[in-house]
């Protein structure tokens, strides 16, 4: 068989393997991860928009108490979502990044993805280069990224465990990591989901970074209740 013929057979083999992942537990777990990240994107935008316009809201807004409550609830949702996305899979299967990675390793160890996109992701986040085992490289990339922000992730987990999910007597309300850190944790998760969907499952992913409908609607509401010169980004 010619080299071209061998290439065609190889491509068909990759596509056939990817087709098997459509509708699989890997696909469903990755979709559930995307749902968490989808909500996180909106909660980040609510937290940002109310926060950067807080002085105007407190001075002029007839809805300042309501918006203050919304801001508090959105921050709690951010903490819960980040903990879900970065949680280890131990006793039960989870829709976390580690949960998706575990399913890929267990159920599709010989899958050859669209490699360039995966290599780009690994390179962008400081993972190992020049390896043929892309699943291992993805795992190492995730571990390095999570280690880089281990202190911040621990603060999110402490807030979740002691204040938000439970109400531990005497628990101190320590300050949470910055909004910039929250955005970076979201971006890694969103890009990981897209890589798995596009390169492994073979299904065009939803670009979670582009969903800003809630932010646009909230900006309109702030204008309706009288705010001027609305800020839309954290400085």
Tokens of 90: 């131990």
Read off the pLDDT band of 168 (50, 70, 90).
low
Among residues 122, 131, 118, 94, the alpha carbon closest in space to that of 201 is found at 118
Q: For position 230, what pLDDT does the model report?
A: 92
73 falls within a domain: yes
The residue count of the chain comes to 235
Quick check: helix, strand or coil at residue 92? coil
Separation between Cα atoms, residue 226 and residue 56, nearest integer Å? 9
Task: Encode pLDDT of 62-100 as tens digits.
Answer: 888 999 999 999 999 999 999 999 999 988 899 999 999
149 falls within a domain: yes
The number of folded domains in the chain is 1
229 falls within a domain: no
> Domain residues for 200?
3-224
| Bigger pLDDT: 94 vs 10 | 94
133 falls within a domain: yes
Q: Taking a C-beta distance cutoff of 8 angstroms, is the pair 33, 201 a contact?
A: no
Q: What's the rounded mean pLDDT across residues 224-231?
A: 90
233 falls within a domain: no
């Amino acid at each position: 068989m010619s080299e071209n013929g061998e290439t065609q057979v190889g491509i068909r083999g990759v596509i056939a393997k990817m087709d098997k992942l459509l509708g699989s537990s890997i696909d469903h777990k990755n979709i559930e991860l995307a749902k968490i990240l989808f909500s996180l994107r909106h909660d980040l935008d609510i937290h940002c928009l109310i926060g950067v316009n807080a002085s105007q809201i407190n001075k002029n807004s007839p809805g300042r108490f309501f918006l203050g409550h919304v801001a508090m609830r959105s921050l709690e949702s951010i903490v819960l979502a980040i903990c879900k996305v970065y949680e280890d899979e131990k006793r039960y299967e989870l829709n976390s990044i580690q949960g998706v990675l575990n399913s890929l390793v267990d159920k599709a160890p010989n899958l050859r993805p669209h490699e360039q996109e995966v290599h780009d992701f690994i390179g962008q986040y400081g993972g190992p280069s020049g390896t043929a085992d892309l699943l291992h490289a993805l795992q190492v990339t995730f571990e390095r990224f999570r280690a880089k922000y281990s202190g911040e992730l621990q603060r999110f987990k402490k807030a979740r465990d002691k204040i938000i999910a439970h109400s531990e007597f005497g628990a101190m309300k320590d300050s949470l990591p910055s909004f910039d850190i929250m955005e970076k944790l979201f971006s890694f998760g969103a890009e990981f989901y897209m890589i798995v969907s596009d390169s492994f499952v073979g299904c065009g992913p939803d670009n979670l970074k582009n969903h800003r409908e809630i932010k646009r609607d909230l900006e309109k509401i702030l204008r309706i209740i009288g705010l001027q010169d609305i800020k839309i980004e954290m400085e």
